[in-house]
């Protein structure tokens, strides 16, 4: 009996070692992320709020050539759900005079501008413009820059050297001046165009994306699984597509997320510096340019647009840093 009594606990302990751990639910993953990365969670919240500001009722039956900011994917987007009024709706008082530069109130949360339009509504519409211009610019920069970075980092040699010298020449030119030059030349049409602005932002961002991608590829191509792919006879294209690109995809996602904040800031700076070279409409940079003459007497006009820019940049930077920590195994807790 003593032997049986002693053997039972030992068997139970041994059996418990083979019990599979409970699967973690999505909510548990989210809560763990919030606890470990509170600033990153705050950044993700800000980004989600900005995305919510851009959402409107899609008109899927109205398809045409993609255009910014209300037709980014080919179908027309309705007015943003978070906008209380129309973007160009003007308000008058009992005497039929424009309610100009009114301070924040219950009717107008952020006041009105010099033309009697609701500032909150224009902030919401401006979020759609900034977000979609930034997304188009980063998609252009990421596709071109990452493609060049993978090829040059993999083959190295004279191709890599020549491309790097071209990138050095592009980066030696001040980015904002380069954007203004491209927008001023405007090869597509003589009128200001948001697509041209997005392309200009993308062209300026290509060298940075290319350099980061190339640096990751230079280290990845020396890994043993890449050498094994070459040994079994994989072609260069297959090696880059199936063995290198999937393993650097996390770095590309991080570059994309952090670059969105930079693109939004650059678009606002362009609208602020050369407002006559950008399309008129609800734009955070244009709103800030209009409010600069009234910053002392009526500061809420400039604070609202500047605050929107700051929130967008802060949100994408914090979210990008947290995303880097999550996707990079070397930085995981």
Rounded Cα distance between 54 and 312, Å, is: 13
The domains of the chain are located at 131-283
Residue-level pLDDT, tens digit, the chain, 333 residues: 445 545 555 555 555 556 666 777 878 878 888 888 889 899 999 999 999 999 988 887 778 777 888 888 888 888 899 998 888 889 888 888 888 888 888 888 998 988 889 999 999 999 999 999 999 999 999 999 999 999 999 998 898 999 999 999 988 888 889 899 888 887 666 677 888 899 999 999 999 999 999 999 998 888 898 889 888 988 889 989 888 988 888 888 888 888 999 999 999 999 999 888 888 888 999 999 988 888 888 888 889 999 999 999 999 999 988 888 777 655 554
Give the burial string for 268-284 (b: 16+ CB within 10 Å, else e): bbbbbebbebbbebbbb
Predicted local confidence at residue 333, as pLDDT: 47
pLDDT at 66: 78
Which residue, 178, 151, 147, 152, is CA-closest to 165?
Answer: 152
pLDDT at 314: 93
C-alpha to C-alpha distances, 123 to 84, 110, 292, 318, nearest whole angstrom: 11, 9, 16, 22
pLDDT of residue 13: 53
Contacts of 254 (CB under 8 A, 6+ apart): 320, 323, 324, 327
Verify cis geometry, omega within 30 degrees of 0, for the bond prior to 69.
yes
What span, in angstroms and rounded, lies between the C-alpha atoms of 40 and 34? 8
Residue-wise DSSP of 95-143: TS-B-TTPPP-SSSTT-B-TTSBBHHHHHHHHHHHHHHHHHHHHHHHHH
User: What pLDDT does residue 297 have?
Assistant: 84
Find out if CATH 1.10.3720.10 is the number for domain 131-283. yes
**Helices (H), strands (E): how many in the chain?**
12, 2
């Amino acid at each position: 009996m003593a032997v049986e009594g002693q053997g039972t606990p030992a068997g139970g302990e041994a059996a418990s070692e083979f019990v599979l751990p409970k699967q973690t639910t999505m909510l548990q993953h989210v809560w763990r992320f919030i606890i470990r990365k509170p600033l990153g969670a705050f950044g993700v919240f800000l980004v989600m709020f900005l995305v919510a500001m851009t959402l409107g009722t899609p008109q899927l039956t109205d398809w045409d050539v993609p255009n910014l900011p209300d037709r980014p994917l080919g179908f027309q987007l309705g007015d943003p759900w978070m906008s209380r009024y129309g973007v160009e709706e003007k308000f008058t008082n009992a005497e039929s005079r424009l309610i100009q530069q009114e301070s924040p109130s219950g009717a107008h949360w952020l006041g009105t501008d010099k033309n009697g339009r609701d500032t909150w509504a224009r902030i919401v519409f401006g979020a759609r413009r900034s977000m979609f211009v930034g997304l188009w610019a980063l998609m252009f920069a990421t596709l071109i820059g990452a493609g060049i970075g993978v090829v040059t980092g993999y083959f190295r040699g004279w191709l890599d050297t020549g491309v790097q010298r071209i990138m050095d020449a592009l980066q030696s030119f001040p980015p904002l001046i380069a954007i203004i030059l491209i927008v001023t030349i405007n090869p597509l049409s003589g009128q200001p165009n948001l697509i041209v602005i997005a392309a200009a932002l993308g062209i300026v961002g290509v060298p940075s994306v290319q350099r980061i991608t190339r640096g990751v590829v230079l280290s990845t191509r020396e890994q043993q699984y890449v050498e094994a792919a070459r040994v079994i006879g994989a072609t260069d294209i297959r090696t880059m597509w199936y063995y290198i690109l999937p393993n650097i995809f996390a770095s590309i996602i991080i570059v994309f997320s952090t670059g969105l904040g930079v693109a939004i800031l650059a678009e606002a700076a362009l609208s602020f510096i050369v407002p006559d070279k950008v399309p008129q409409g609800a734009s955070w940079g244009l709103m800030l340019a209009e409010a600069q003459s009234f910053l002392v007497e009526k500061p809420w006009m400039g604070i609202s647009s500047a605050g929107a820019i700051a929130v967008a940049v802060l949100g994408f930077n914090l979210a990008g840093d947290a995303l880097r920590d999550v996707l990079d195994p070397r930085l995981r807790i």
